[in-house]
């Protein structure tokens, strides 16, 4: 059996959010952050990345109001 390696190729990138290293650059504007993130994903796709790992809760906080995770 022959397997096409390109089908399973992993080309990943890490998006750091702690101290806004990679994203978000915009502060306190959810719509601007969404737009910025979509632009980042578009750029990564143009560079042929097929996996994006995004750092979540970089400083034990939340990007939204939450009773569970302040």
Q: Cβ(57)–Cβ(17) under 8 Å? A: no
Whether this prediction's pTM lies above 0.75 is answered by: no
pLDDT score recorded for residue 18: 87
pLDDT score recorded for residue 11: 93
Domain range enclosing 21? 1-69
Q: How many domains does the chain have?
A: 1
* Secondary structure of residue 15 in the 3-state scheme: strand
Average pLDDT for runs of 10 along the chain of length 70: 74 92 90 96 97 85 71
**CA gap 42, 26 in Å, rounded:** 18
pLDDT score recorded for residue 63: 67
Angle among Cα 43, 18, 30 to the nearest 5 degrees reads 65
Tokens of 64: 């939204």
């Amino acid at each position: 059996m022959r397997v096409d390696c390109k089908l399973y190729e992993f080309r990943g990138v890490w998006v750091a959010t702690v101290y806004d290293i990679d994203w978000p650059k915009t502060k306190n504007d959810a719509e601007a952050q969404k737009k910025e993130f979509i632009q980042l994903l578009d750029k990564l796709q143009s560079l042929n990345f097929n996996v994006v790992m995004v750092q979540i809760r970089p400083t034990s906080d939340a990007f939204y109001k939450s009773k569970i995770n302040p």
